[in-house]
Amino acid sequence: MTTRTESEEMSTATPAQAPHSDAPTGHKPAEGRVGAGLFDPGQLVKSLPDACRKLDPRVMVKSPVMFVVWIGSVLTTVFSFKDPGDWFGWAISAWLWLTVIFANLAEAVAEGRGKAQADTLRKAKTDTVARRVDGTEVPGTELRIGDLVVCEAGDIIPGDGDVVEGVASVDESAITGESAPVIRESGGDRSAVTGGTKVLSDRIVIRITTKPGETFIDRMINLVEGAARQKTPNEIALNILLASLTIVFLLAVATLPPFADYAGTHLTMVVLVALLVCLIPTTIGALLSAIGIAGMDRLVQRNVLAMSGRAVEAAGDVSTLLLDKTGTITLGNRQAAEFVPVNGVAEAEVADAAQLSSLADETPEGRSIVVLAKERYGLRERRQGELSGAEWIAFTAQTRMSGVDVDGRRIRKGAAGSVVAWVRERGGEVSEDASALTDRISAAGGTPLLVAVEDTEGARVLGVIHLKDVVKEGMRERFDELRRMGIKTVMITGDNPLTAKAIAEEAGVDDFLAEATPEDKMALIKREQAGGKLVAMTGDGTNDAPALAQADVGVAMNTGTSAAKEAGNMVDLDSNPTKLIEIVEIGKQLLITRGALTTFSIANDVAKYFAIIPALFAAVYPGLDKLNIMDLSSPDSAILSAVIFNALIIIALVPLALRGVRYRPVSADRLLRRNLGIYGLGGLIAPFIGIKIIDLLISLIPGIG
């Protein structure tokens, strides 16, 4: 296992979360600026040409609803040219074209927000010269999978790969945005390097693992520009539903001319097209693509690379979450929590001996013992050089002890078995209460370290140090939120079941898997999936790759191996395992936003029906005038008002589509009631108010009202 440097720990916090990665999940720092880009004049100017370019029928046909509107715009324009004096036809044509452009503008704005990041990434994607191990130099674009290249201090890494020899400090700021360098070394789970990053020190040999044009930066550029975004299954299903509704309304509108002729009135092609456009679900049809792009963009803002939109959507439907204990639920390094003396020994004496024996222990656990003695017992931290004549015993994995021989005393601290053996070698005995204390701490999920001394009274145990795997602050609240979402949390750990149970109870997870092997993880995922559940998990090692590939949402750490990153369908560039919780929330927000705006759009259509149909036939069938509850001034004004409202509501809802509907962890039935109450009722009422206001404004225009 590799030891993590302080700078690497710093690099795992996102800019929004630093210095602590356990900020409440409800905090969405990046979202405050998401919707703002719509009304930024610069962004609008940049996006408008793209929106106009999307008027190409080969592009429009990908959205069936908006393609129908595009065809309607062409037809009304043609008929307007046939009758140039018909102001109504020209007005309808203009607003239908604006409807199509506004729909394209929503998608263009969503895509444009990633262009700046893509430009930054392109700057990082430099054409470098690679130095092979045989001494030959070739352009980085000519490297192939399996090639071995050498990188030294100051070199730009020419391609994605794994370190197979050496250790180096690497600047990954071009990828992660974090300036703190990270350590990359061979033989561990932190061997992966990314093309375009810079070696700051030492020398490493890298085995290339990707082809030119398929590197990490290439995939990120494609992602943020939308070039690689495929429609997800739910999005395809919704498109089919919208297309079906469009066909139904098309057939319904097609039957109206015969009825109108029979009733003695005539419906022009312009009126029929306007009616069709207002009745089909144009609002959600216009915003559907923008919603998907914005969901992917929210992940990019959190430095998460999703290999497919399917993974983002699956995150929203996840019902089981597998989380590593170390570094995810806990801080990762065990810390000293208390000093417990045996009978007849003062607690301060144990603290003093524990601190002295830990000065030669450079592990995080040893440092925490020194700090605890200083903070809780007021013992000044002494340096090794301050004790003259002292012989220091450094901690090693073989002895599992550290200590000091000073002033006629020998003090040792370490694992229970090692210290007990040391005491008995010197003719001492270990008291029963020392064994009882050790068992009690182990049962509570902690790690007991014994402190012993040999002096004129002989060798004996003074007490026990309680090392505790500290659960991150706020984790219980996070898991409570996940539980309210209906998500089951499972902690994965290599600890024994007793320790795992104690940590699981403290953290508040629903279940745990102790002494986990790769096979155990795979079996657990398959068991959950067999029950119809979607599973998400994180991992960074080669041994995690099978489970990451099996999981519906597999989030690989950027610091991990290439095998892990290839197996997962998401990569966390910050290598912060707790971000999996945020990914689930982003996925749910995407699905909720899509559902909310679909509800609003369909409710809109119902209201527009009451605006147009009575206006069309009230002159022939006076009884229909009772349905003209908005008291619109004329048939032409009613139709034109509905078309104008239909266009403006699209542009008004773009900020919501980009920002997303705020997600709260509630049950599905409460979520449905909220959607119907806010977006269903709102979609029903808004057109009545909006169309009436537009009608009043139109009626003020001489010769029209």
**Integer Cα distance of 560 and 556 in angstroms:** 7
The SS3 of residue 572 is strand
> Quick one: pLDDT at residue 25?
34
- Domains of the chain (ranges; CATH) run 41-113+225-297+586-700 (no CATH), 144-211 (2.70.150.10), 304-329+472-573 (3.40.50.1000), 333-470 (3.40.1110.10)
Among the residue ranges 23-27, 501-505, 658-662, the one predicted with the least confidence is 23-27
Interval 298-349: pLDDT, tens: 887 788 877 766 788 888 888 898 887 776 777 766 788 889 999 888 888 8
413 is in an annotated binding site: yes
540 is in an annotated binding site: yes
Among the residue ranges 50-59, 106-115, 581-590, 632-641, the one predicted with the least confidence is 106-115
Among the residue ranges 20-24, 377-381, 625-629, 646-650, the one predicted with the least confidence is 20-24
Interval 509-551: pLDDT, tens: 999 988 887 788 888 999 988 888 889 988 777 677 888 888 8
669 is in an annotated binding site: no
What percent of the chain stands above pLDDT 90?
Answer: 10
Strand 320-324 and strand 535-539: pairing? parallel
Average pLDDT, the chain: 79
Name the packing angle between helices 497-507 and 475-485 (round to 10°).
Answer: 80
348 is in an annotated binding site: no
Q: Reply yes or no on whether the pLDDT at 13 is more than 50.
A: no
Is residue 324 annotated as part of the catalytic site, yes or no?
A: yes
637 is in an annotated binding site: no
The SS3 of residue 530 is helix
Select which of 147, 160, 171, 324 is catalytic.
Answer: 324
> Quick one: pLDDT at residue 704?
59
Beta-bridge partners for 593: none
Tell me which residue of 235, 216, 206, 111 sits closest to 172, measured CA to CA: 216
Question: With contact defined as beta carbons under 8 Å apart, do 144 and 131 qualify?
Answer: no
Q: Report cis status (omega within 30 of 0) of the bond before 687.
A: no
Eight-class DSSP state of 381: P
Q: Reply yes or no on whether the pLDDT at 553 is more than 70.
A: yes
> Quick one: pLDDT at residue 566?
78
Interval 188-211: pLDDT, tens: 667 888 887 888 888 899 999 887
Question: With contact defined as beta carbons under 8 Å apart, do 558 and 574 qualify?
Answer: yes
Return the half-sphere exposure (C-beta side, CA atoms, 13 A cut-off) of residue 561: 16
Predicted TM-score of the model (pTM)? 0.64
Residue 144 corresponds to which tokens in the numbers above?
A: 């192939």
> Which value, to the nearest 10 degrees, does the dihedral of the CA atoms of residues 628, 630, 631, 633 take?
-110
